[in-house]
Amino acid sequence: MAETKNIKSLGKLVSVLDCFSTTDRSLTVSKIAERAGLPRSTAHRAILALKEVGFLEQDHTRDEYRLGLRLFQLGATVLNNMDLQRVAHPFVEALSALTGEGVHLCVFDGERMVFVERSTGGPTGPQNATITMEISPCYCTGVGKAALAFQSKADIDRVIAAGLMPFTRTTITDPAR
């Protein structure tokens, strides 16, 4: 019984963290509660717990919260322990040099694309290789659409059912397209 309660509590904390994105960098308690589907008081308690351990930071001037540096530290640890980036790096650079184009090394997590490394190309080959952990919805990026093209209908339907929010004026949000 206590184990189930702990899992539910952790789920609430994760749902609060999931409210943030590259386009929604800081949010009010009300907006977090709405997005997480939690009562405002529950969301506020979760926010305070996450703030206490450094997962969230408060912008006192705007009374909003944003992801904290502790998450960046954990992400850097994940990246440093990720064999994929270490093994694939020479291939990313070689492909960029061969084509003179940018190369993105990404992982498809079922709904999003996690950009692990980017190499910007040019006429003389790779210009810059950047290790990144940027996450974008798969329907918003070219590499994400390519990954979706090879997924099952059930996986594609799940992405569509979650909602296709526009991130730019050119984001395709019509499932028929």
Domain ranges of the chain: 2-68, 82-161
pTM flag (> 0.75) = no
| 141 in Cβ contact with 164 (< 8 Å) | no
| 132 in Cβ contact with 119 (< 8 Å) | no
Topology (CATH level 3) of domain 2-68: Arc Repressor Mutant, subunit A (1.10.10)
Cα distances (Å, whole numbers) of residue 138 to 45, 90, 102: 32, 25, 19
Q: How far apart are CA 177 and CA 173, in angstroms?
A: 8
For the domain spanning 82-161, the CATH number is 3.30.450.40
Q: Which tens digits make up the pLDDT trace of 72-87?
A: 889 888 877 878 888 9
Q: Which tens digits make up the pLDDT trace of 48-106?
A: 999 999 999 999 888 899 999 999 889 888 877 878 888 998 998 888 888 888 888 89
| 136 in Cβ contact with 115 (< 8 Å) | yes
